[in-house]
Every structure is written in structure tokens, then in C-alpha cells.
Amino acid sequence: MSELLVARPSPPSSVRVVSDVPMAAPPGAVDPTDAEVGRRFAAGDEQALAVAYQRWAGQVHGMAVRAFGPGPDAEDVTQQTFIAAWTGRARFRPEESPLPAWLVGICRHKIADAWGRRERQRREAEAALSQAQAAPVGGTGPGVDSVVADRVLVLDELDRLGQPQRGIIELAFFADLTHAQIAERTGLPLGTVKSHIRRTLERLRSRLEGDGAALPA
């Protein structure tokens, strides 16, 4: 189901509203808790990057392989995800979301970016081909184009959301939960979940319509 569920062993959700998640690791524990790894990662502890890789690279790479099949493209996405997570660790808020959920979010960006690059290459190749053939550019492109561009924008806007809005919309988008299931999962009132969903979709719409108009064809 959700990546928010797979964090071992305890944190059940990135929606840090239900605050019964134990945060403190026993001092000197051999196996730090996921939360402890997240805090150390944010603090720039190199060992935490190694531990995070050991725990969650399989999850991230699983997503990459699902998008690109096994091979260099997927490996590149996984590598770029961890590099971006490490270099961008100042933006990670361990108190707001579990590290694996954050890594998965970055992985989505990397996948969408790679699709975007492929799409550009395809368009360039098509343009070159149609120029060579002195034929008008075919009508296959625009639909695919705009979805690819929309996707990058939506993921980017999700990054700007605070909690619990981001956790809520991610559960709706990526875990395919209904608003009632999200309310149950997060412990938030039904009405709160509904109004957050509404406001977030409006916000995403403004971003798409605002930026979409300015996008080069």
C-alpha cells in the first residue's frame, strides 16, 4: 500500500498528526530506529546516509525498476534520489515525515524528470524527422507533452505543501485511499480531510493553469 506504511519498524504515516509514534531510540542502540536515522540524516551524519541506503534503497530502486525496468536508467534514478536527498537534507523535516516517505517523494521527482527528458528527446527526434521530411509536425505530441509537464509541476507543488496537507493528498494520490480511509489513517476529522483535499486541489490547479500558460510549447 502506501510508502507511508512500509517504514520499518514503527512510523505508520507521514501525517505526523497522530503523535503516538515513539521518537526516542534507546541510547547506543545497535539498530537505530527509523526516526533516529531520519534525525541523524537531517543533521548530516554520514553514517545515517549509509543506514538509510541499506534500509530503503530496495524500496526506492523497486519504484525505479517499475518505471524503467531493470538496468542503467533505474539505477541512475536510485542513485540520483539518494544524492539529492543527501545534498538537500536541509529541506528534510524529520519531525514531519519519515525518511523513507521523503526518499520516495524524491524518487517520484527523479522518475518524472527522466520521463520529461525522454519526452523532450522524442520531440526533438520527431521535429528533426519531420523537418527532414518537410512535413508538418504531427499531432501525437501535445497531449503527452502536457501531461509530462503537468506531472513535474504537480510533484514540485507537493513539495511546497506543509503537513498535514501533503500527507493527506499523497495518500489520496499515491495510496489510492478515499477521504474516509485517510481520516481513519491519520486520525483527522472527516471534514478537515475533505477541506484540505479541496484546498490542495485548488492550489495545484492554480499552479498548473498559471505555469501551464507560460510553458513553451
Shortest distance, CB of residue 38 to another protein, whole angstroms?
16
**How far apart are the C-alpha atoms of 82 and 212, rounded to whole Å?**
29
| Residues within window 191-210 making contact with another protein, judged by CB under 8 A | 194-195, 197-198, 201-202, 204-205, 207-209
Are the C-beta atoms of residues 85 and 59 closer than 8 Å to each other? no
Examine residue 60 and tell whether it contacts another protein (CB under 8 A): yes
Q: Is 80 left (phi over 0), alpha (psi -120 to 50) or beta?
A: alpha
Examine residue 144 and tell whether it contacts another protein (CB under 8 A): no
Neighbours of 5 (CB within 10 A): 14
| CA nearest neighbour of 116 among 153, 84, 148, 155 | 148
Q: Which amino acid is at 138?
A: G
Shortest distance, CB of residue 213 to another protein, whole angstroms?
13
The residues, ordered by sequence, that sit 6+ positions from 180 with a Cβ below 8 Å of its Cβ are: 190
CA atoms within 13 A on the CB side of 109: 19
Shortest distance, CB of residue 125 to another protein, whole angstroms?
22
Q: Which of 12, 17, 21, 75 binds another protein (CB under 8 A)?
A: 75
DSSP 61: H
Binding string, residues 77-116; x marks residues near another protein by CB under 8 A:
-xx--xx--xx----------------x---x--xx----
Shortest distance, CB of residue 95 to another protein, whole angstroms?
22
Shortest distance, CB of residue 142 to another protein, whole angstroms?
14
| Residues within window 114-143 making contact with another protein, judged by CB under 8 A | none
**How far apart are the C-alpha atoms of 157 and 112, rounded to whole Å?**
13
Residue where the block lists cell 507537493: 158
- Provide the binding-site residues for another protein, judged by CB under 8 A: 1-6, 8, 30, 46-47, 49-51, 53-67, 70, 74-75, 78-79, 82-83, 86-87, 104, 108, 111-112, 147, 150-151, 153-155, 172-176, 178-179, 194-195, 197-198, 201-202, 204-205, 207-209
